[in-house]
Amino acid sequence: MYVRKALFLLVIITLLPTIFSGCGLLNQQSSDQLNALAAVEVKNYEGRDLSSILDFHENSISGPQKIDISTYLLKIDGLVANPQELTYNQVLSHKPYSKVVTLYCVENWAVTILWEGFLMKDLLDAAKVDGTANTVIFHAVDGYTTSIPLQTILDKNMILAYKINGVVLPPERGYPFQLVAEDKLGYKWIKWITRIELSDDVNYKGYWESKGYDNTADVQK
Ligand SMILES: Nc1nc2c(c(=O)[nH]1)N[C@H]1C(S)=C(S)[C@@H](COP(=O)(O)O)O[C@H]1N2
Ligand SMILES: [Mo]
């Protein structure tokens, strides 16, 4: 009897750390990974000091997302003549561009980062955007959405980033792609993008916009 009880207790005690540390282990792994990336990231560019990958705050609506790149597709659809379904490598085959841009979150933090990626204009051109489209609605794997006027995206030469400070976007930062919504507040910088929808709904409101955040979201300079 005592032997069985003791054995049972032993099993429970051995398993306890595994049962309760699941989340902790994951967090430890991901912060180890971020520290490793921070060690190799670009720290300044054309004379400008950059922020670090570690300076971002993580407050995504459903936490960091893990995307399986072997099944990942970026869709470009809606008001287009030539809808696209691009694999990660197909997106990466476009001409790359780099720029240093500051992301300002409404929660009072900012990061100045070297972003590398592909011109939204190049991706949209391939989809043959209809003359009636005036709004671009972005969708992400966590259900997050946001929108930006088509003309703003073209005028500001917005890019879809796949690298920050010279390293491939880590999962926390939006792998495989984050929109560099230059001059717009952080909630327009959608991460984990899966779909770019061309629309004529100028009043479309994304996740935070529908909760009262300004739809224009211009950074006040
Ligand atoms: N898919 C998705 N993208 C998102 C968010 C989100 O919750 N989900 N949060 C936005 C907000 S409010 C900000 S400030 C930036 C911040 O980027 P970071 O989470 O990498 O720090 O991501 C934006 N992109
Ligand atoms: Mo934000």
Q: What is the pLDDT of residues 40-83, one digit of tens each?
A: 999 999 999 999 999 999 999 999 999 999 999 999 999 999 99
> If residue 96 lies in a helix (H) or strand (E), which one and from where to where?
strand 96-105
The closest residue, in CA terms, to atom 9 on ligand 1 is 60
- Residue 193 CA: which ligand 1 atom is closest? 1
Instruction: Answer whether residue 221 is part of any domain.
Output: no
Phi, then psi, of 145 in degrees rounded to 5: -140, 160
Evaluate: CB of 117 within 6 angstroms of ligand 1: no
The pairing of beta strand 193-199 with beta strand 74-78: parallel
pTM of the predicted model, to two decimals?
0.89
Residue 151, in any domain of the structure = yes
Q: How far is the CA of 10 from the centre of ligand 1 (A)?
A: 44
SS3 4: helix
In a domain, 217, yes or no: no
Reported as a pLDDT band with limits 50, 70 and 90, residue 29 is confident
- Looking at residues 103-111, what average pLDDT do you find? 97
Cα 70 to ligand 1 centre (Å):
24
- 202 is a domain residue: yes
- Contact call for residues 133 and 198 (beta carbons, < 8 A): yes
Our answer on whether the CB atom of 139 is closer than 6 Å to any ligand 1 atom is no
Residue 20 lies in a domain: yes
Q: Whole domain around residue 103: which residue ranges?
A: 2-211
Between the CA of 192 and the centroid of ligand 1 the distance, in Å, is 9
φ/ψ (deg, to 5) at 52: -105, 160
**Tokens matching residue 168:** 């491939």
**Integer Cα distance of 139 and 159 in angstroms:** 16
Q: How far is the CA of 60 from the centre of ligand 1 (A)?
A: 5
Burial of 85 (0-12, 13-18, 19+ CB in 10 A): exposed
CATH number where 8 lies = 3.90.420.10
Instruction: Give the nearest ligand 1 atom to 111 CA.
Output: 21
Domain total in the chain = 1
Q: Are the C-beta atoms of 192 and 174 separated by less than 8 Å?
A: yes
Query: Which pLDDT belongs to residue 1?
Result: 57
Residue 123 lies in a domain: yes
CA distance 11 to 5: 10
